Structure 1
Amino acid sequence: MEINQIILNNNLFRFSLYKNHQSESEHVVIFLLGALQEIESVDSFSRKFSEHLDCFTIEVPGTGCTKPLDASISIREQAMMLLEFIHYMGMKKIHIIALSYATAISVELCVLCPDIISLSICGGLPSIPESGRYATKKMIAASMGDSKEFAKLFTNTMTVDNPDIPQNKAIRKVVERNISKMSPDRMNIFFENTVRLLVHHPDNIENIKTPCTICVGEYDPYITKESVFNFSQKLTNCNFITINNADHFVHLEHPEKLCNILTLQADLYINLSKKLQEFV
């Protein structure tokens, strides 16, 4: 894993390119991360995605291990920064995979960029639902205090205690421990991004024609399967799936199943294109 940094228009990106050495396809995956995630922590997913296509795993300015980005800069502006990166890299045929927080950025990007061929989302909404606003405000406040208390609150907000969820107690324990060790800069990034998302109100969801797959954990207590289903119904061309025996940390509880779901849109498009070429 080689992590690169680039500054475009005074905005810092971290990214890693995972090459697919069996394909000469122009298609690429852009993998966008959730809150408190970074390239290193999702390495196994990036490698799995690269078995299908070249995968760019990107920390957009103000996310991951970049620098804090003031909350006065909007989600749409973050999406425009990503679009600048896409143009700089010369990407033309793009399949977006987005987790959690990155959902809002990816939705805005689909409106801005005609080169997005498919969108696959796990555990995310384009804005915070009414049911989640109080919990979000509590996390914002906690992120300014003791890191251990914040880690406990964050973990309890995103998970449920359910023996049907694989490795439920172990995952919750590891997540809480890892978050409690994060630097003040990482906490500041979380604060700014969460405030940014709290005030974000997308008004263009119905205009998105991009084929989408959206999945959510059955027991996700934060965004809830009902809210995600309602979001999926606003999209013209969307498949919705609930992953059973999972909460918000689907990627830790069912990693292989999730990888298969999130790459399906890209696989279907490319396989269809190949089949059609047989008739030419």
Structure 2
Amino acid sequence: MKPATAVVNVHGTYKVHTEFHTNPAASKTIILVNGSLSTTASFAQTVKYLGTQFNVVLFDQPYAGRSKAHNRNDHCISKEDEAAILMDLIDHYQAQYLMAFSWGGIASMLALCERPSSLEKAVFASFSPVLNAPMLGYLGRALACLNQQDSDKVGHLVNDTIGKYLPSLFKRYNHKHISSLSHHEYRQMTAHIRQVLRMQAHCHTDRLGRIDIPLLFINGEHDEYTSTTDARLFARHIHDCQFATVDNAGHFIDMEHKGAWLHTQNALLGFLQGSTAGSRRYARYPDLQHAMAV
């Protein structure tokens, strides 16, 4: 069944293309938050299993995908802007659950710190609270390619780094998509990278204690950019969090092979549909100097 599409006025400024995958038997709604340079199409594998259990909301950022045509895109938006947009969408669809992938985790964390009233649980995939050496190297190379306005190099860079475990078909799609983005999308990505590297897009560790719902962090076993070890640092700041490692998977976890797809599905549905009463609670530790994610 095709999703119901709509253009939602959000944050009093932007118009956002949304897709609502309805499940008549579902009582809960989950909203999915894209990673960088992504559109709703990036969640095609995820919707296949979430849609059997929940209503699913997808959306494109104002500068991306099918939202682009509805916005002037005469300026770049910050992660704080994206958090405000997300909060409006959570309220609009009265979503109970949230799942964010990679870069989308920054705005999602900022939104969760404001305690959206309808949210009950959230999942973060391929997300880490620190910029480690591999991620810093990747961002530095990406910024150089973007400054050169070399879209072909950007596409190859993504496939050679965070996307290196993707099947060849997905790599071809990735390169075609990334190398054909608009000039504004590249400017937006450049602005986001610079914002992160200036340490202005952090997760505000002093606020993370405000998050009052259970969180699950899912990371690939072989993901060196947002590693399982780094992800567990969130336990220093968040009261109720659980962690899952997807075997033999990299950054794009459920897109990389069927085993990873099944493992991710089981971890995600088990968390969302399970009781929180028996969830493992991790002790808090002294504050990190900063917390960022990409």
Q: Does 1:175 align with 2:174?
A: yes
Quote the Cα distance in structure 2 between the aligned partners of 1:258 and 1:128: 24
Q: Any idea what SS the aligned residue of 1:76 has?
A: helix
Deviates more, 1:259-268 or 1:240-249: 259-268
Change beyond 3 A, Cα 1:207–1:135 = same
For the 8 Å contact 1:70–1:192, the answer to whether it is kept is no
Q: 1:5 to 1:256 in 2, by over 3 A?
A: farther
After TM superposition, give the deviation of residue 63 of structure 1 in Å. Answer: 4.9
Q: Secondary structure at the match of 1:186?
A: helix
- The 1:264/1:227 distance shift into structure 2, 3 A limit, reads same
1:218 correspondence with 2:221: yes
2: CA distance, partners of 1:186 / 1:226? 32
Q: Counterpart of 2:5? A: 3
- CA shift in 2, pair 1:28/1:121, >3 Å: same
For the pair 1:139 / 2:142, whether they are aligned, the reply is: yes
- Unpaired runs of at least 5, structure 2: 279-294
CA distance in 1, matches of 2:239, 2:74: 32
How far residue 47 of structure 1 moved from its aligned partner, in angstroms, is 3.9
TM value normalised by structure 2: 0.77
Q: 3-state SS of the aligned residue for 1:116?
A: coil
1:22 deviation in Å?
A: 1.6
Residue 97 of structure 1: SS of its match in structure 2? strand
* Aligned residue-pair number: 262
| Distance 1:126-1:56 versus aligned 2 partners, 3 A rule | farther
Q: 2:90 aligns with which of 82, 86, 91?
A: 86
Q: Distance in 2 between matches of 1:118 and 1:187?
A: 32
Name 1:255's counterpart in structure 2: 261
Report if aligned partners of 1:64, 1:186 keep a CA contact under 8 Å in 2.
no
Per-residue deviation, residues 67-125 of structure 1 (Å, max 9, x unmatched): 45845x432332122222333x251x510011111111111111112322101111013
Structure 1: gaps of 5 or more residues = 273-280
Task: Note the C-alpha offset of 1:194.
Answer: 3.0
1:239 aligns with 2:246: no
- Aligned residue type for 2:107: I
Normalising by the residue count of structure 1, what TM-score does the alignment of the two structures yield? Answer: 0.81
Aligned pairs for 1:140-159 within 5 A = 140-144=143-147, 145-159=149-163
Q: For the residues of structure 2 that align with 1:65 and 1:150, how far apart are their CA atoms?
A: 21
Aligned match of 2:44: 43
Distance, in Å, in 2 between the alignment partners of 1:64 and 1:223 is 25
Over the aligned positions, Cα root-mean-square deviation in angstroms equals: 2.8
Matches within 5 A, 1:17-56: 17-23=20-26, 25=27, 27-56=28-57
1:35-89 CA distance string (max 9 Å, x none): 1221133234224212111111122434555345845x432332122222333x2
Contact 1:157 1:221 in 2 (8 A): no
